[in-house]
Amino acid sequence: MKEFFIEGLKQFFDYSGFANCELGNLIMIVVGLIFITLAIVKEYEPMLLIPIGFGIILGNIPFTDGLQVGVYENGSVLNYLYFGVLKGVYPPLIFLGIGAMTDFSALISNPKLILIGAAAQGGIFAAYAAALALGFTPMEAGAIGIIGGADGPTAIFISSKLAPSLMGAIAISAYSYMALVPVIQPPIMRLLTTKKERLIRMRPPRAVSHREKVMFPLLCILLTAFLVPTGLPLLGMLFFGNLLKESSVTKRLANTASNALIDIVTILIGLTVGCSTQASTFLKVESILIFVLGAFSFVIATTCGVLFVKIFNLFLKEGNKINPLIGNSGVSAVPDSARVSNVEGLKYDKTNYLLMHAMGPNVAGVIGSAVAAGILLSFLY
């Protein structure tokens, strides 16, 4: 009798997290706690960092294999939820919500700003080349490079297709740097611009008609999807969401897409991506390299955007010139990078509001990164 109870207690202890805990689990749990602290105290992207941070904690609670509780164990609840990440279901749904909440007026009224969104994608391909040089395979390099697009859902979508084993590190890296946009971008912007350039006042955007707003998603999907069909899941959902918003006859659908749906998917994607960072799969040299490459791609993307505006200005007439401080907004961290442009602009001229102008390249960056993702898929998948 006594032996039975002792054996039972021993078995219970073997099943518990204390018996299975390793140093890696503890490190990852601390990382999760840091994420949650940053989100609550510093308010860095709380909508993302809290689910991801909590997911990291959940994913690193030690357990015995075979209990069907882990995210990588077939049949577990977390595994079912993770299916949406693994098969690229969640990112297009997030794009639907983004489309339904994005106003493309700034872009429609000043179309030349869209080219900044293209230039800033240089970060993706610079990181791709750097990852190849560091010994990653082309598929892994493609998945890492997309961090430079500064678009979490796109990064998850591409890594789920090209390098599922690196998805945790890529997603965490992408979201971390998106949260750190106000820290990373301003020094580069100041370094690459003169005081005179920072004071450039841009022409106010013209009013955009309802007809133009409705036609925009329709024409854009036809143009981009025919050129890069592999980007269809992301681009299709983005422009579909925008049509729901701009058509003005599907307000209920647009409201759901831009509120309830995107909130639900954000919770699921954040939590499950966090869970996927189990110490055994996450704490590797590759993860550190991915973080380094992610920072590099952000720097290059910002540099490309700012330098492109400076070169573009050489061909523009006086009065039509673009303030190079909005060059950083070409990365698609909406609306953080546009906000950074505005804050930096106000530092040099308290009446020069750049937010509306910066939103143009910012949303162009969303389109640009989705197109770039499509190209990577067509070359590598």
Partner 1 sequence: MNNIKHKLLTLCVVLLAGTTLFGQQVSDLRINELLIKNDSNYVDEYGRHVPWVEIFNTAYNSVNIAGCFLTDDTTGLAAGDYSNWYRIPSTDPTTLIPQRSMLVFYLDNSPLYGTYHTNFDPNQSSNHYIALISSNGKTLIDIFHYPANLANVPQSFGCIDDGISTIVDENGKTVSNMAILDYFTPGSTNKVHVGATKSEHLQKSDPHGIGLAVISISVVFAALIMIFIMLKIFGLVSTRKDRKASQAQAATAATADTTQATAAKDGPTGEEIAAIAMALHCFMNSQHDEESEVITIDMPSKHYSPWSQKNLVMKKVTRRR
Interface positions with partner 1 (CB under 8 A): 107-109, 111-112, 114-115, 117-119, 121-122, 124-126, 128-129, 132-133, 137-139, 141, 206, 209, 211-212, 215-216, 219-220, 223-224, 227-228, 364, 367-368, 371-372, 375-376, 379-381
Q: Least Å distance between CB 311 and partner 1?
A: 13
Which CB sits closer to partner 1, 199 or 375? 375
Q: Least Å distance between CB 317 and partner 1?
A: 16
Q: Least Å distance between CB 239 and partner 1?
A: 11
Which CB sits closer to partner 1, 53 or 330? 330
Which amino acid belongs to residue 297? S
Q: Least Å distance between CB 373 and partner 1?
A: 10
CA angle 297, 303, 304 (to 5 degrees): 90
d(CA 166, CA 287): 8
Which CB sits closer to partner 1, 98 or 265? 98
Q: In this structure, are residues 149 and 155 in contact, taking their beta carbons and an 8 Å threshold?
A: yes
Q: Least Å distance between CB 332 and partner 1?
A: 12
Q: Least Å distance between CB 295 and partner 1?
A: 18
Closest of 362, 31, 364 to residue 224, by C-alpha: 364
Q: In this structure, are residues 60 and 274 in contact, taking their beta carbons and an 8 Å threshold?
A: no
Burial of 309 per CB tally in 10 Å (0-12, 13-18, 19+): buried
d(CA 139, CA 349): 45
Which CB sits closer to partner 1, 41 or 207? 207
- Neighbouring CB atoms inside 10 A of 72's CB total 16
Q: Least Å distance between CB 20 and partner 1?
A: 28
Q: In this structure, are residues 295 and 123 in contact, taking their beta carbons and an 8 Å threshold?
A: no
Q: In this structure, are residues 79 and 73 in contact, taking their beta carbons and an 8 Å threshold?
A: yes
Q: Least Å distance between CB 261 and partner 1?
A: 25
Q: In this structure, are residues 182 and 342 in contact, taking their beta carbons and an 8 Å threshold?
A: no
Q: Least Å distance between CB 117 and partner 1?
A: 6
Extract the tokens encoding 376. 């990577």
Which CB sits closer to partner 1, 172 or 238? 238
Kindly report the backbone phi and psi dihedral angles of residue 68, in degrees, each rounded to the nearest multiple of 5, phi listed first: 55, 50
Which CB sits closer to partner 1, 118 or 283? 118
292-296 contacts at long range (C-beta below 8 A, 24 or more positions apart): 293/127, 293/130, 293/131, 293/134, 293/144, 293/145, 293/147, 294/127, 294/144, 294/147, 294/148, 294/170, 294/173, 294/174, 294/176, 294/177, 295/177, 295/184, 296/126, 296/127, 296/130
Closest of 169, 143, 107 to residue 360, by C-alpha: 107
Beta strands in the chain (DSSP E): none
